[in-house]
Chain A
Amino acid sequence: MTEIKKGAGKEITVDEMGLAFAKIMTIFTVIGIVLMVLPAIFYFMGINQYVPLTEAYKYWRQSASDFWLNVTGRQVTGYSWIFDHLDKTDCLSMIGVLVLMITPLLAMLAGAVKAENKTYRTLLLIAAVEFIASILVKSIAAAAGGAKKATKLVKK
């Protein structure tokens, strides 16, 4: 029940599950941000760009599909535009975004390991499995949609 304890000091109890979750989330958020920002600094300095800043500036008013068509001459579908150009600073910067995307998953797994009872462990593991399924479903659906659009453009 809700209880307001006056004069009970400032010390509160947080369970191990929560602390492990928070620790992993902190670590991987920092890693993700660093991996995203460091290559981006070189990108902003004009070093080894996949999409030159001047080109991005010229086409950023257009939809994502038109942007890529104008800048690189082809549509983007899937993650290959990142992994095929890891030598380019802007693509390398996207690895940081990928790390941020999976950080909640890693935190859930850490929480599950430290969970004090089976129910919370099971619930966090179910959430983690669904999280992986969600990444796959959403990424595949988007890639399939993009490929369909690209096929239509080629047919035109």
Chain B
Amino acid sequence: MAWWFWPLFLFVFTLLIGIISPVSGVGGGVLFVPLCTVITPFNIDFIRGAGLVMAVTSALSSVPYLIRKGLASLRIFAVIAPVMVITSVVGGWIGLWVTNAYPNGKYVIKVLLGAIILLVFLVMVLSKRVEFPEVREEDRDSLSKKLNIWGEYYEPNIDAIIEYTTKNTPLSIVVFAVIGFVAGMFGLGAGWANVPVLNLMMGVPIKVATATSMLIITANAPAIGIYLTKGAILPLIVVPSILGITIGARIGAKVAEIMKPKFVRWLVLIILLIAGVLNVIKGLQGMHVIPHILPGV
């Protein structure tokens, strides 16, 4: 196959991921990395490098629009980011140590991680009032009141302005610290975990949860340095992917605004299911419990 086929393929492929990404609150890496390792001839190093730049760029392209529409909350981000960035750095250091000391340990943890994602999936399937969770005045914690965490957005599907606030803020900060640690340790994006915590624990509407998750993903940008210093970012792979994701994410941000909350919920559920199953498979094949069915692991 001629060399130009693959950059062209990446452009179309990432355009589609870009549309899904802001609607679901997942950076795109969770779909791009596993699928590209199966479909394209590129080494996993270059796919991971491109996946990260792509996930960050899709977030950077859609977040400004989502903030202006009141969907992404900078107030929630400001509370979470200082904790999450630092635990992700600590997680990264410990991850390097674990990889060197126990080379197979990462596969066991991948299976556990997959199991946790599938558990979150089940909790979200069984949960009620996910689209617009009810947070009463008496449910609000003192931190939420003190920091005046609130926001509002226009919901075109019911022609109403939705005003929201948060509950369980201190506990959620602890959970985000753990998510940052796990994400840093295994070099994962954390969109799969951000959305359920924001929605189920903090009580923000599902569309605000997905949009704010995109905002949180921008805090993963420093990890790009890892791939740049290893030479794992090639223009041949990254540029068509970025162009595709940027155009797609702009379309996706507009789609996210008008999309029915129920549809967003099911999209998040499907992505959680895919991410959970892929992690379990990767872990089990790394431990040689099942045959090698996913390449690049």
Residues of chain A touching chain B, judged by Cβ–Cβ distance below 8 Å, are 1-15, 17-19, 21-23, 25-26, 29, 32-33, 36-37, 39-40, 43-44, 51, 53-54, 56-57, 60-65, 67-68, 76-79, 81-82, 90, 93-94, 97-98, 100-105, 107-108, 111, 119-120, 123-124, 126-127, 130-131, 133-135, 137-139, 141-143, 145-146
Distance, CA A111 to CA B82, complexed state (A): 14
Q: Contact: B161 with A8, CB < 8 Å?
A: yes
Q: Which of B45, B53, B75, B231 has the most CB of A within 10 A?
A: B231
**How many inter-chain residue pairs (CB < 8 Å) link A and B?**
247
Q: Contact: A25 with B64, CB < 8 Å?
A: yes
B274 to chain A, nearest CB (A): 25
- SS class of chain A's interface: helix, strand, loop or mixed? helix
Across the interface, which residues of B come within 8 angstroms of A26, CB to CB? 64
Name the residue of chain A whose CB is nearest to the CB of B74: A18
Q: Kindly identify which residue among B82, B92, B139, B152 contacts A126, using a CB–CB cutoff of 8 Å.
A: B82
Across the interface, which residues of B come within 8 angstroms of A79, CB to CB? 228-229
Residues of chain B touching chain A, judged by Cβ–Cβ distance below 8 Å, are 3, 7, 41-46, 49, 53, 56-57, 60-61, 63-65, 67-70, 74-75, 78-79, 81-82, 85-86, 88-89, 92-93, 96, 132-137, 139-140, 146-147, 152-155, 158-165, 203, 205, 218-219, 221-239, 242-243, 246
Q: Kindly identify which residue among A37, A119, A133, A139 contacts B239, using a CB–CB cutoff of 8 Å.
A: A37
Q: Contact: B68 with A138, CB < 8 Å?
A: no
Given contacts A126-B82, A146-B230, 11 further A-B contacts (CB under 8 A): A4-B162, A36-B239, A39-B235, A40-B239, A54-B3, A68-B231, A76-B229, A97-B224, A101-B56, A135-B225, A142-B227
Q: Kindly identify which residue among A1, A40, A124, A137 contacts B135, using a CB–CB cutoff of 8 Å.
A: A1
Name the residue of chain B whose CB is nearest to the CB of A28: B60
Q: List 9 A-B contacts (CB under 8 A).
A: A22-B65, A51-B234, A56-B234, A62-B43, A64-B45, A76-B231, A102-B221, A142-B227, A145-B96
Q: Kindly identify which residue among B203, B236, B243, B246 contacts A53, using a CB–CB cutoff of 8 Å.
A: B236
Across the interface, which residues of A come within 8 angstroms of B68, CB to CB? 14, 18-19, 22
Q: Contact: B43 with A93, CB < 8 Å?
A: no
Q: Contact: A120 with B231, CB < 8 Å?
A: no
Across the interface, which residues of B come within 8 angstroms of A2, CB to CB? 132-135, 162-165, 203, 205
Name the residue of chain A whose CB is nearest to the CB of B81: A127
Q: Contact: A60 with B85, CB < 8 Å?
A: no
A150 to chain B, nearest CB (A): 11
Distance, CA A32 to CA B133, complexed state (A): 38
Q: Contact: A3 with B243, CB < 8 Å?
A: no
Q: Contact: B231 with A67, CB < 8 Å?
A: yes
